[in-house]
């Protein structure tokens, strides 16, 4: 006897465990990057923002390593397509040297 049930579709793989944590990190990161975009290009304020952006990178790394860091970067860059390149450069500069972040010269 044939069953009339629809064919069983494969189950979606579960979301990475860090995915829940990355939203608030990316939201804070977006605010920091937006402040850098609209503020001065040098001085103590810029250094303070870069340090805060770096801490968000450390949080993303702790949550899920390079994959979570890339996800946070994508959220920030995708929030404004016309500023995506600049935002990527700001984050790359602040995250340079963080464990797991884009080895020298490697871009996704």
Q: What mean pLDDT do residues 3-16 have?
A: 66
Residue 84: what pLDDT? 96
Q: Is the pTM of this model over 0.85?
A: no
Please, what sign has the CA dihedral across residues 24, 29, 34, 36?
A: positive
Q: What is the CA radius of gyration of the chain?
A: 18
The 10s digit of each residue's pLDDT in 81-105 is: 999 999 999 999 999 999 989 865 4
The 10s digit of each residue's pLDDT in 13-59 is: 788 888 889 999 999 999 999 999 988 778 898 899 999 999 999 99
Q: How many CA atoms lie within 13 A of 62 on its CB side?
A: 8
Q: What mean pLDDT do residues 53-80 have?
A: 96
b/e per residue, 65-74, with b = 16+ CB within 10 A? ebebbbbbbe
In this structure, the dihedral spanned by the alpha carbons of residues 3, 5, 7 and 12, taken in order and rounded to 10 degrees, is -140
72 or 43, which is more confident: 72
Question: 9: pLDDT confidence band, cut at 50, 70 and 90?
Answer: low
């Amino acid at each position: 006897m044939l069953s009339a049930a629809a064919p069983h579709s494969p189950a979606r793989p579960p979301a990475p465990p860090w995915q829940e944590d990355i939203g608030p990190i990316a939201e804070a990161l977006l605010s920091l990057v937006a402040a850098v975009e609209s503020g001065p290009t040098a001085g103590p304020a810029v250094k303070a923002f870069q340090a805060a952006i770096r801490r968000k990178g450390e949080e993303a790394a702790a949550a899920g390593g390079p994959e979570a860091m890339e996800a946070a970067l994508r959220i920030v860059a995708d929030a404004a397509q016309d500023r995506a390149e600049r935002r990527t450069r700001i984050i790359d500069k602040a995250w340079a040297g963080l464990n797991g972040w884009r080895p020298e010269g490697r871009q996704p």
